[in-house]
Structure formats: C-alpha cells, structure tokens
Structure 1
C-alpha cells in the first residue's frame, strides 16, 4: 500500500485559492455532510469544538471518500497529543497560538521521527501506517505531513518572520478573532491596526516562501485577504451556517424584527 497522498499539502503549491469550511459539530455525520458539498478543505476543530481523539478519528474516517481535505486543529501543541492525532491518520495539523520560532521548531520535531524529531513509533497499531501496510512509513511519513502554525497574537505577529522561516513549517494561518482582542479591539478584526498587523503577517509569510491562510467568514474580508496573497481561506463555519439559515427561515413566518448581521469573526 502506498503512503496516502496529502491533497491539501499538494494544493498549497498551486496558485489557485483553496476555500475551506470550519467543522465544529464534532461528529462524523455532520462532517460527512460538509465533505460532500465541495469545499477544498475542512477544519476539524479540536480547540473550540468538543472534540476528542476518538471523535477526530471518526470524522477522518467519515470524510475519507470525499475530495474535501481534512485539516485537524489541536487544542494545544502538546507533543503527546500530536502523536495521537498523527497516529489516527491526520496528515495536516493546525496548532493554535504559536508565538516564537522555538515553539514552531518544537512542533516540527513532534511531527517527525528520530533522529529528526521525537515522534514515537506506533507501527502496526496505527491507522497512519495502515496497520503496517505502508512500507517505509517511518522514513517517508514526513513527505505527506503538513504543519500549519497559527499566528494570532501581538507577540506572534512580531515574530512572524522567524516563525515562517522555520524548516518544516508548511504554512501560517492567521486568527483575526484572537489577534483583534489581543490588540485591544475585541470583535473588530476590521480595525485599521488589526488589518495592518494581518497584512504584515501575510507579507512576511509569503516572503519566507510559505503558504498563508486565514479565517474570513465575511465575503469582503475573504476577497481582500485573497488579494493580499492568502492561498487558503476558511469562508464558512458549519455552526454559523445552520444558525443563520434557521433564523432566516423562521423570520419569513414572523413579524419583522431587528435584523441580525453575521459576525465578521465567527
């Protein structure tokens, strides 16, 4: 059996924008529905959604037959958690709140086997190896693994050049919500200071030769970030889509009330 190809990692080398969707329902049934809608990638959120390693596994299995590429966001950069997520078959990991090059280097090591890292060997116990069905997995796994680090704080943006330059970091993902609140502009990623910091992070990432992504459920934001050079953009969130659609449907049958404007962050 061949090493499973990472379609998301391959797509980052393309000039075509990759449009993604946040998956926050934390179950395989909902994830499979999303995977069948045609987005280029989906974020299985282990930071703010109630996911565990087994629930992430279930979603990876549910979306495997589809072309939408799964990206798994861990709640933390803990090396033991990274090991578990990789062993159940995640090939692309997003790690939140990365603020230094040293932290990024530690994440790279957590994703690689010795002598280049510290990842433990699970062998025939793991889905990643297809239970020892992939020959030479130990020496070739890194070729199809993709590490995305999130830069979403004042300190992270200050260090983004060094972070993006770390060998083994494949992409930088900017978190406008955390960045805006960290800069004193809670809920307002459109504030000029926040926008300037986002633009700086995008430019620095591209200058380092790495792909840059961002969460932008607001269309005007998404198109602006695309113009700035972001190659993968999350333009939708499943929970928000359900809530907004449910509200809009009910509003057709009730007296007009105060219109609700979708959030520019979540």
Structure 2
C-alpha cells in the first residue's frame, strides 16, 4: 500500500514561492492541533518546550494533524540527543531545537538526528512510526531525506554566530526567537525594541549568507509582515492558546463589561 507522508519543512520551503505562515500549538490538545491544522495555515509547531507535552501527547497531535495538508514541526524541549531520537521515532519529520548559540551546539543537534556514520541517532526504525514499522522502503539508508533539522537562535551570542550555525552540516535552517533574544539583550518583553530587531536582521543576514532558510516568531502582524519583507521564509504568527485567550476576552468585553458600562444603552 502506498504511504502518504507529509513533506519535511525543508522540502516545503524549497518548493515554496512565498513565505510560509504557521501557528503554534501550545495547549497540548490533539483537538486544538487539529483545529489549527485545518485552518489553512502552511505549518504548525507542536511545542514540547513551553507546553504540557510529553511523547504520548505529541504523538496524539501528530496523528491529529496528519489528515491535513499542513507541515508539522515538533519543537524539542532541549538539545538532548535522547529526546531528539524519540521525537524522530514518533514520526516527526521536522524537529526544531531551541537555544542553540554556537556551531558546536548545532553540530550536536545535527548528529543526534542522523544515523551513523554521519551522526549518532539510535537505530530503532523497525519498531517506530518514523519508518512506519519498516513499511518505508530504504528508510535506514535514506533517513536523511525523511528528516529535516532546524535550530533556534535565541541569544545575542547566537545571532552573532548565525552564519556558522546555519552552515553546520545537517542543519537545514534557522528559526529566530525574538522573545528570548530580547531577554538576553537586557530588554525582557520588548521583542520589537530597535536593538532586538537589528539583532534579528543580523541573524537573517548570517543565515542567508550560509544559503539556508531563516524563520522568525512574530505574533504582531506589522512585525510579521516586516520580517517577511526582510527575508524570513517561514514565520509563526499565532498560537492556539493566545487565540483562545484573546477571543474569550473579547466575548467577556462584549457581553459583560460593555453591559455593565453605564454609558451604554440598556439591554
């Protein structure tokens, strides 16, 4: 029986004629993951770093999004080779690893995602969803074609080393995180601070010089459009939990707070 596997983010970007816009799934809910996957967005990020996700819930969300023409990415909680191996064995075809600030750290990530001799990923494809329990012909020999590896630059040190990080063999692209970048620069919570934006642009320049795609997190629409114009080829522009939080607040404003406002006409 022919298998239908979603494209990796690397392959999706290579075929794209415009920036790819995605949504963050932070709730840990397969239902929310499916809602986001069916929205028309290009890609979704299933988060294991800041969300209540373990391996089982991540697998459930991969199942939930698999019916839709969206590219799933799983963000590991850290650059831990064991965790990266487990995420890949779940069938995630693109992994994003946070807090990578040096080429050495990038090399560790790349090696964790590749089988020997290129890396040190443990071999368990016959037992895992990654190779569909040995139903993917030649998975071991061609595993690099089935996996894409992205790292996240989130510090001033990382932004300065962006070109070398992106040029690391086995790294397919770089995603810039302005929130932690702002924190590392002493302007916590100010993602649109001019110095932070300048550092993001420096990272963009470095990654582009290395010939790799660069992405960024930007929930502010104006910032997102500006980063897309500046060369970002993939962006996260919203999160399930943030969308629900703001929409539920709007409901409360419409039906409770406005009703209690004595300057408004009575109902």
Q: TM-score, normalised by structure 1?
A: 0.93
How far the C-alpha of 1:253 sits from its partner, in A, is 1.9
Change (3 A) 1:79 1:91: same
Whole-angstrom CA distance in 1 between matches of 2:250 and 2:6: 40
- Write out per-residue CA displacement over residues 217-242 of structure 1, whole angstroms, 9 at most, x where no aligned residue: 10000001001000001111110100
Whole-angstrom CA distance in 2 between matches of 1:39 and 1:81: 27
2:108: which partner in 1? 106
1:123: which partner in 2? 125
CA contact (8 A) 1:4 1:144 kept: no
1:9: which partner in 2? 10
Whole-angstrom CA distance in 2 between matches of 1:72 and 1:134: 21
1:64 maps to 2:66: yes
- Write out per-residue CA displacement over residues 45-88 of structure 1, whole angstroms, 9 at most, x where no aligned residue: 00000100111111001110101111000001111111100001
How far the C-alpha of 1:34 sits from its partner, in A, is 1.2
Whole-angstrom CA distance in 1 between matches of 2:206 and 2:214: 9
- Write out per-residue CA displacement over residues 171-213 of structure 1, whole angstroms, 9 at most, x where no aligned residue: 1100000000110111111111111101100111111110011
CA contact (8 A) 2:150 2:172 kept: yes
Q: 1:39 aligns with which of 38, 41, 49?
A: 41
Whole-angstrom CA distance in 1 between matches of 2:22 and 2:45: 7
2:263: which partner in 1? none
1:231: which partner in 2? 233
| Equivalence map 1:186-225=2 (5 Å) | 186-225=188-227
Whole-angstrom CA distance in 1 between matches of 2:95 and 2:177: 15
1:260: which partner in 2? none
Could you tell me which runs of 5 or more consecutive residues in structure 2 were left unpaired when the two chains were aligned. Answer: 260-267
How far the C-alpha of 1:3 sits from its partner, in A, is 8.1
SS in 2 for 1:253: helix
How far the C-alpha of 1:7 sits from its partner, in A, is 4.6
RMSD between aligned residues? 1.4
CA contact (8 A) 1:3 1:137 kept: no
Q: How many residues get paired?
A: 257
Whole-angstrom CA distance in 1 between matches of 2:192 and 2:114: 38
Q: TM-score, normalised by structure 2?
A: 0.93
2:246: which partner in 1? 244
1:162: which partner in 2? 164
Q: 1:174 aligns with which of 155, 173, 176?
A: 176
CA contact (8 A) 2:6 2:70 kept: no
Whole-angstrom CA distance in 1 between matches of 2:3 and 2:258: 58
2:21: which partner in 1? 19
CA contact (8 A) 1:15 1:231 kept: no
SS in 2 for 1:162: helix
How far the C-alpha of 1:2 sits from its partner, in A, is 5.4
